[in-house]
Amino acid sequence: MDGLKRFWVWFKEGITEVGYNLYEAWKNGYYPFFIVLLLLSTQTYGQVTERTQKQAKVIENRTQSTQRYTPNNNRNDNYTPNRRIQRTYRPYYYNPNIYGYTPYWNPYRSWDGREYIITTDSNRKQSQRPPLRVSIGVLSEVTTQQPTIAPYLVLGGKTFLMTQYHWGGWNSFPYYSNIYQWEVEEWEDEFINTQTQRREFVIGIGTTMKRISPFVGVGFPTIAKWDIYMDETYTLSSPRDLGYYSINERKQTKANIKLGMIYGWERFEGIVQLSMFEGLSLGDGLRLGIGLGIKL
């Protein structure tokens, strides 16, 4: 009897001490893992109830939201913060006197990450890489034969490359490769004119002397021609095309020489060029071109 009484006193003191320690741990925000296991069951033999499960979820949520900070705990050494990329300040100092007060590039541009500053300190600017020259524009060649229009591109520095692609004229009437000249004459169809189409690729090289940039280039034109006739019966062509149809397609590839000059302002440039020597003489294929461009 005395042994049972002593056991009961020891048991109550133990339960009281455990309960007090658990209360102090909960009060200080510390929840040992065995508490979660303890609260997942309400009976010694593992009978689980809904209330016990919900209490475990509450404790788990509090544990995750109130964990104490431990230095270097679960730290990802490979983490790199998402910093904003900042462009490097790269000033370019130039003396406008050597460019005729206007350089070959656009001094107001910002796409290359540079700021262009006027200076007369030659030592400061000699160590810098020269700016890139980029300009685009439209050029038209006028002639008594077939006018053309062409976009052009200038790329480089003080010495630069130029490319052009010309086109002009077309044949919008139905073409018949199976109709011969003698058949047309037999039908007595009226001859209207000769349609001409010109396509030409040009590549050139030039240099810069203050505001003026002379250049020389070579063109490779392809010229196509058709004879246009009128069909009074509107069988070979519709009334919308006025009865016109084409035969006798001829194509010819040639070469010529182009001499030109670019005159630059701050943001714009004008271009003039002369095309010649498309045949054996100077006057063969003589063409005058005028255009306007934008300095990027």
Q: Please give the Cα distance from 257 to 202 (Å, whole number).
A: 9
Residue 45 has a pLDDT of: 45
Q: Give the burial class of 36: count Cβ atoms within 10 A of its Cβ; 0-12 exposed, 13-18 middle, 19 or more buried.
A: middle
Q: Please give the Cα distance from 126 to 128 (Å, whole number).
A: 6
| Pairwise pLDDT comparison (145 vs 176), residue with the higher score | 176
pLDDT tens string 179-208: 899 989 888 989 999 999 999 999 999 999
Q: Please give the Cα distance from 40 to 280 (Å, whole number).
A: 103
One-letter amino acid at 36 equals V
Choice among 54-68, 215-229, 265-279 with the minimum mean pLDDT: 54-68
* Residue ranges covered by each domain of the chain: 2-65, 87-131, 134-295
Q: Please give the Cα distance from 182 to 194 (Å, whole number).
A: 17
One-letter amino acid at 160 equals F
Residue 102 has a pLDDT of: 85
Residue 2 has a pLDDT of: 66
Q: Please give the Cα distance from 255 to 109 (Å, whole number).
A: 37
pLDDT tens string 116-136: 888 887 776 666 788 899 999
Residue 46 has a pLDDT of: 47
Task: Give the highest mean pLDDT range of 74-78, 130-134, 275-279.
Answer: 130-134
Q: Which two tokens stand for residue 175?
A: 């073409």
> Looking at the domain covering 134-295, what would its CATH class be?
mainly beta
Q: Please check whether residue 246 is in contact with residue 195, taking contact to mean a CB–CB distance below 8 angstroms.
A: yes
Q: Which two tokens stand for residue 210?
A: 């203050």
Q: Please give the Cα distance from 236 to 243 (Å, whole number).
A: 7
pLDDT tens string 171-183: 889 999 898 999 8
